[in-house]
């Protein structure tokens, strides 16, 4: 089957690339199933400090799920498995304990938006186009996806995005808080690489603790686990990196963090 995922490494930066350019990087059933494994590998690799999500080529980030497979994969009993694969993919990306950046250019539609929403930071090019067209396809959309969208842009805007199924541009995405910043297309990759390099110089355990806290705060209060947050913070204070950070500050030099 066409379409695959690949990882590109550049020092502490790893790019997870959605490579299916002949269909604007639409995600096939095989690609959805591959995402959790790659996400876990990137999370477990101590040499990776930042993960960037990107679409291959210059036409699309991800144009959504591959609709050409829907009559087979998203009907009857197979639809249940398909939705489970989707949910596992989104949860795996969102569970990466390192900073994740989505570098968005061109089409970011449906499942592409959902993939982008798993990232901590979203930067897009001026040519980015967004939409969630589930209502034009007649498919059911998971509550967890709607909850994530609502948390990012607010419930009124989430309802508008979903109910109108319309497309909107980069400037509107920025205005509603869906993306952090809009850049000229020629500058997007350079800006993301520079931003990732700066993040990679920070203390990995501190960043992981922050992601743990943000993740817990995104849950209903009754389902939060304060112990996980406290343990992550304790790991920071007990780390060699904490000692290094204090020494570097007192010695007026850049710290050299090792993630331990």
pLDDT (tens digit, 9 = 90+) per residue, 97-112? 999 999 999 999 999 9
The domain that holds 191 is classified in CATH as 3.90.226.10
Same domain, 14 and 114: yes
Same domain, 114 and 221: no
Beta bridge partners of 18: 5, 55
User: Residue 232 belongs to what domain range?
Assistant: 203-250
Assign 133 to helix, strand or coil. coil
Residue 71 reports pLDDT greater than 60 = no
Beta bridge partners of 122: 102
pTM for this predicted structure: 0.93
pLDDT (tens digit, 9 = 90+) per residue, 24-54? 999 998 999 999 999 999 999 999 999 999 9
Q: How much is the pLDDT for 74? A: 59
Same domain, 142 and 213: no
Residue 217 lies in a domain: yes
Report how far residue 157's alpha carbon sits from residue 152's, in angstroms, rounded to the nearest whole number: 10
How many C-beta neighbours within 10 Å does residue 22 have?
Answer: 9
Same domain, 34 and 106: yes
Both tokens of 109, joined, read 């539609």
Same domain, 22 and 47: yes
Residue 257 lies in a domain: no
- What is the domain count for the chain? 2
Assign 252 to helix, strand or coil. coil
Q: How much is the pLDDT for 73? A: 59
Residue 1 reports pLDDT greater than 60 = no
Residue 258 lies in a domain: no
User: DSSP secondary structure string, 100-155?
Assistant: EEEEE-BEEETHHHHHHHTSSEEEEETT-EEE--HHHHT----HHHHHHHHHHH-H
Same domain, 209 and 189: no
Q: How much is the pLDDT for 218? A: 87
Q: How much is the pLDDT for 60? A: 96
Residue 255 lies in a domain: no
Residue 76 reports pLDDT greater than 80 = no
Same domain, 32 and 100: yes
């Amino acid at each position: 089957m066409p379409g695959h995922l690949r990882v590109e490494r550049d020092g502490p930066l790893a790019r997870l690339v959605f490579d299916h350019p002949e269909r604007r990087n639409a995600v096939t059933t095989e690609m959805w199933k591959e995402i959790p494994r790659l996400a876990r590998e990137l999370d477990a690799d101590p040499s990776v400090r930042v993960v960037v999500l990107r679409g291959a080529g210059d036409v699309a980030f991800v144009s959504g799920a591959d609709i050409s497979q829907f009559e087979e994969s998203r009907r009857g009993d197979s639809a249940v498995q398909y939705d489970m694969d989707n949910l596992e993919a989104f949860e795996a990306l969102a569970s990466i304990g390192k900073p994740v950046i989505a570098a968005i250019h061109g089409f970011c539609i449906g499942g592409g938006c959902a993939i982008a929403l798993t990232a901590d930071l979203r930067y897009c090019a001026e040519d980015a186009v967004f939409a969630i067209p589930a209502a034009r396809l007649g498919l059911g959309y998971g509550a967890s996806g709607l909850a994530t969208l609502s948390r990012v842009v607010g419930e009124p805007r989430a309802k508008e995005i979903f109910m109108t199924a319309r497309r909107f541009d980069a400037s509107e995405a920025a205005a509603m808080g869906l993306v952090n910043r809009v850049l000229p297309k020629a500058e997007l990759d350079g800006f993301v690489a520079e931003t990732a390099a700066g993040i990679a110089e920070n203390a990995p355990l501190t960043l992981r603790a922050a992601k743990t806290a943000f993740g817990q705060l995104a849950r209903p209060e009754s389902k939060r686990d304060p112990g996980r947050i406290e343990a992550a913070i304790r790991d920071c204070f007990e780390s060699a990196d904490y000692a290094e950070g204090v020494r570097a500050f007192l010695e007026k030099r850049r710290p050299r963090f090792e993630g331990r």
